[in-house]
Structure 1
Amino acid sequence: MMLLILKTVITVLALLATCAVLPLLPLGVLRVVLRGVGWVIQKRTRSRREYILSRVRAEDEGATSKPSRSSLGSQGEDEDWEKLDASSSSGTGGSEEWDGIIGFFHPFCNAGGGGERVLWEAVRATQKRWPKAVCAIYTGDHEVSKTAMLERVQNRFNIHLHAPTVVLLYLTTRKYVQSSMYPYMTLLGQSLGSLVVAYDAFNLLVPDIFVDTMGYAFTLAFCKMLFPPIPTGAYVHYPTISTDMLQSLDDQTGVKGVNAGAGKGLKGQVKRKYWLAFARLYGWVGGHVDVVMCNSSWTSAHIRTIWGPSRRTQPHQDPTVVFPPTAVSELQSTITVDSATEKNREPVILYIAQFRPEKNHPLLLRSFARFLQERSKNPASAAQPTPRLVLIGSVRHASPDETHIYNLRLLAHELRIRDHTTFLCDASWPAILSHLGTASLGVNAMWNEHFGICVVEYQAAGLISVVHDSGGPREDIVIDLSDGPTGFRASTESEFATAFESALALPEDEKVAMRLRARKSALRFTEEEFAVKWLGEITKLVQMVSVSK
């Protein structure tokens, strides 16, 4: 009898173990297969890697070292970077002269937005810290040569890079991450499409460190399965899916993004279940990233929620908030804010943002139209100059952006504000500086803007900010200091219109005081602060490479 009971217990335990292991077998087999594929890729691309490294070394040696290094910035900037190098070199475990390859996955590196500023500032910081390292950028911008790309980076962001150690690797499969490819199940389609693009990237060059700077987290898990020893890092601008997105499905106000109120009916329920399933998959993917950086407190909170359960075994479990770099020092040294310069400010409302649907330009246009309409009812306003709206942003050519800006122009015409609205596409940095120096207000209308580099630029330039009451602008940027507010927050058309009126109607001394408080607040987001934190996180990855070797 006891023997029968023992056999029964053993059988039940065996069945339970089989049930527990069977679901893992397909993934285990997949890992073995992908590791074999990774070995083949590394072997096949070894000669190209050696050629790229030899070419970089030759170009670097061919350039005169002192002039080329000084071309990265002014003498004062070099002194600042020397201090930075000294402060970031402690505890690196002998990695000061590291000369490996960092692969930056950024298929749209010529887009000219805030994400691209982060990329190129990261490259500049990496070059300064590890001069012998190679920064390989995986891009799909075939129409732009390296020379033209670096010139655009300099003109758009005023970032000077050391050309020999920058390598552009041109992807042929970028279309697979474009939203237009997936009219349905776009999140999943783009995420799986990024695996195709990543496979393309690795067949061009297998780096020593792989960093995603654009939000394609699936590529990092794919890298880990192909090449387990390669350290991976993510700079997360915006979680692919968040709890706020899920909550927006039930929103009845229509202000919470492009999917507000989309949870109604059978179609809405299917969308909800699809999003929940994708969120679980996205969380699993996040568990494969060695080092995670987030651009704001808002992004970090969502990444902790979604990725946290899968990252419990990671040595660097928690994400680090690394605020994006903003040209705060340059703006504050170029633009003076005091009672005398207040007379140079014009009643201009400035919006610097890429011309994309998520930036919610229509909300701003309608708010501005309402503001002008309400203002026309006030007899005292007749003697004052009519405020103007200036929208500056980059446009990805041969993309939906061009159609989007065309529709915005039509909307401005329909709202009868065309004569008071200016659209500037792909403006140069000097042109942007000029507007930042003369405008009075800076606005951001995007719901749950992940950070808001343009808002920091407004503050550094002394503009009074009027931003959407959500995301990074609310939690990190337009906050009240001990001596008063640094701007205005709004959510609806009427609230934005009221904020425009309130900001422009402030007495001169209060305007100047708010501008100065905003400039003080902006010091938290300098390029130097970004570089210190960026290098701190990348040093962890460099140390992993050193240990693995």
Structure 2
Amino acid sequence: MLILTAIRILLVSVIFSLLVQFYLLVSIGRSNKKKAVGFFHPYTNDGGGGERVLWCAVKAIQQQHPDLDCVIYTGDHDASSDSLLRRAIDRFGVDLISSPKVVHLHKRKWIEDTTYPRFTMIGQSLGSIYLSWEALNKFVPLYYLDTSGYAFTYPLAWLFGCKVICYTHYPTISLDMLSRVHSQSSMYNNDTFVANSVMLSRFKLVYYTVFSWMYGFVGSFANLAMVNSSWTHSHIQKLWGIPERIKRVYPPCDTTGLQALPLEREAKSPIIISVAQFRPEKAHSLQLQAFALSISKLDSEVSRPKLQFVGSCRNDADEVRLQNLKDLASELKVEDDVEFYKNVTYRELVKLLGGATVGIHSMIDEHFGISVVEYMAAGAMPIAHNSAGPKMDIVLPEEGKETGFLAQTVEEYADAILKILRMSESEKHEMAAAARRRASRFSEQRFYEDFKAAIGPILNHSLG
């Protein structure tokens, strides 16, 4: 009994000591807050739409509040203030007013999916708290702005006395995900082995349900939640329960620069372009299969098209996916018709978009779809997945004219490709022009205006 009592006293002492240390560290942090906006964006080299939002958000704050420092929390150890300034302009065409400050993070492995072979979602979410703890111990800003979707860090930032702001591209868990597990539908985030097992599906449903409650709780700590689409707005509102603090701000798309490209295409062979990171959810293999199927059905009088994959690789897993895609092209016997472009500069991307007749996108429940807007602005007719952002916000009629196609299956994508290839030049020009007009609704300038309008009251109130 004495030993058990001693152990209990020791455990209580250790826990009490840890809580005291935590309180002291947070108290010190709260008293050392800097007049700055801290952007929690651990991957500043992913090259996707999220990174474009980061740099446009930095520029918007620099324009509206030049007295506020912009600090980037990044896990990229080679990132510096000057290199990030150059990257913003070279990769995305965003000319920052001044170089952002940098806080390097060394615990990024705790948010990498490879660290958690199982229970990846909860593992990465809890890991993000640890990474945020490192970030806030190094620098405590007046405003904590998460641009990467790590909602579990919000209560910690709140404890450090920060105003918590986020730009949410997509919910970590959605009601659609719960529905798919409930119906035992196989997908990239619902393994076939699990989907085929009633018991495992029920267990995963409980796991997802509990996680959704946790996600709703931590998300409610946001003082302002900006979301990028109607689909994301609907899910975040239901999950977080803070409708009055949610603002829809469409992401910035370079419609102005791309709209300067001529609508007429000079290439002899029609070019179908696919712009997306080489990630599993982007479903590149579906695009390749649809392309091969459309070629097999080509009429003799229709020119044989080319397919260009343009994307970035974040890690070794993405590199493997890229190689697998090249292997699949060989298996389908279309390797001579497919080109791959990895980690291209913004200037190179614009050139490639300027030569494309069709832009293809195939991610299910794409929260918004910046690449789809870029296709349309550049004059390439889009073929996008019939769900979420593209369906609800983007590929909609403009002034009574169709702006593109929506598809789901390999056959539907192939049929859409063939429909475009068989169009007359005047029909292509009419659809491309309508798509370009539609894309102007999602301009970079529109983002700056909406972002400043959303964030202005919280910044002005705190600084005032």
Shift of 1:483: 1.8
Which residues in structure 2 correspond to 1:359-438 (within 5 Å)?
Answer: 359-375=282-298, 378=299, 380-381=300-301, 384-397=302-315, 399-438=316-355
* Aligned residue among 203, 207, 212 for 2:146: 212
2:27 alignment counterpart: 39
Which residues in structure 2 correspond to 1:224-235 (within 5 Å)?
Answer: 224=158, 226-227=159-160, 229-235=161-167
SS of 1:270's equivalent in the other structure is helix
State which drifts further: 430-439 or 455-464. Answer: 430-439
* Aligned residue among 521, 536, 540 for 2:457: 540
Extract unaligned runs of 5+ from structure 1: 1-29, 51-99
2:128 alignment counterpart: 194
Which residues in structure 2 correspond to 1:316-355 (within 5 Å)?
Answer: 317-333=244-260, 335-337=261-263, 341-344=264-267, 346-355=269-278
2:11 alignment counterpart: none
Q: Are 1:246 and 2:178 counterparts?
A: yes
2:106 alignment counterpart: 172
Shift of 1:545: 2.1
* Aligned residue among 279, 286, 289 for 1:356: 279
Shift of 1:373: 1.5
Contact 1:250 1:260 in 2 (8 A): no
2:92 alignment counterpart: 157
d(CA) in 1 for partners of 2:386 and 2:23? Answer: 46
Which amino acid in structure 2 is aligned with residue 139 of structure 1? T
Q: Are 1:283 and 2:216 counterparts?
A: yes
d(CA) in 2 for partners of 1:35 and 1:521? Answer: 52
Shift of 1:36: 4.2
* Aligned residue among 28, 34, 57 for 1:122: 57
Contact 1:233 1:541 in 2 (8 A): no
Which amino acid in structure 2 is aligned with residue 279 of structure 1? S
d(CA) in 1 for partners of 2:214 and 2:21? Answer: 20
d(CA) in 2 for partners of 1:176 and 1:122? Answer: 26
Cα shift readout 1:522-546 (whole Å, capped 9, x = no counterpart): 1111111101111122212213423
TM-score normalized with structure 1 length = 0.78
Which amino acid in structure 2 is aligned with residue 131 of structure 1? P
2:366 alignment counterpart: 449
Q: Which of structures 1 and 2 has the bigger CA Rg?
A: 1
1:141 alignment counterpart: 76
2:190 alignment counterpart: 259
Which amino acid in structure 2 is aligned with residue 214 of structure 1? S
SS of 1:208's equivalent in the other structure is strand
TM-score normalized with structure 2 length = 0.91
Cα distance change on mapping 1:252 and 1:440 into 2, 3 Å: farther
Shift of 1:317: 2.3
Q: Are 1:306 and 2:244 counterparts?
A: no
Identity in percent? 38
d(CA) in 2 for partners of 1:476 and 1:345? Answer: 33
Which amino acid in structure 2 is aligned with residue 329 of structure 1? T
State which drifts further: 343-352 or 276-285. Answer: 343-352
Shift of 1:411: 1.4
Which residues in structure 2 correspond to 1:458-477 (within 5 Å)?
Answer: 458-477=375-394
Cα distance change on mapping 1:458 and 1:163 into 2, 3 Å: same
Instruction: Report the aligned-residue RMSD.
Output: 2.1
Which residues in structure 2 correspond to 1:67-86 (within 5 Å)?
Answer: none
Q: Are 1:101 and 2:28 counterparts?
A: no
Contact 2:225 2:247 in 1 (8 A): yes
Contact 2:266 2:355 in 1 (8 A): no
Shift of 1:172: 0.6
SS of 1:416's equivalent in the other structure is coil
Contact 2:398 2:437 in 1 (8 A): no
Which amino acid in structure 1 is aligned with residue 275 of structure 2? I
Cα distance change on mapping 1:34 and 1:485 into 2, 3 Å: farther
SS of 1:317's equivalent in the other structure is helix
Cα distance change on mapping 1:252 and 1:494 into 2, 3 Å: farther
Cα shift readout 1:438-478 (whole Å, capped 9, x = no counterpart): 11000101001111100100010111000010110111000
Which amino acid in structure 2 is aligned with residue 40 of structure 1? I
Shift of 1:351: 0.4
Contact 2:184 2:201 in 1 (8 A): no
Which amino acid in structure 2 is aligned with residue 357 of structure 1? P
Cα shift readout 1:46-78 (whole Å, capped 9, x = no counterpart): 4xx78xxxxxxxxxxxxxxxxxxxxxxxxxxxx
Cα distance change on mapping 1:345 and 1:193 into 2, 3 Å: farther
Cα shift readout 1:323-371 (whole Å, capped 9, x = no counterpart): 00011011112x022xxx2455741110000111111111111111111
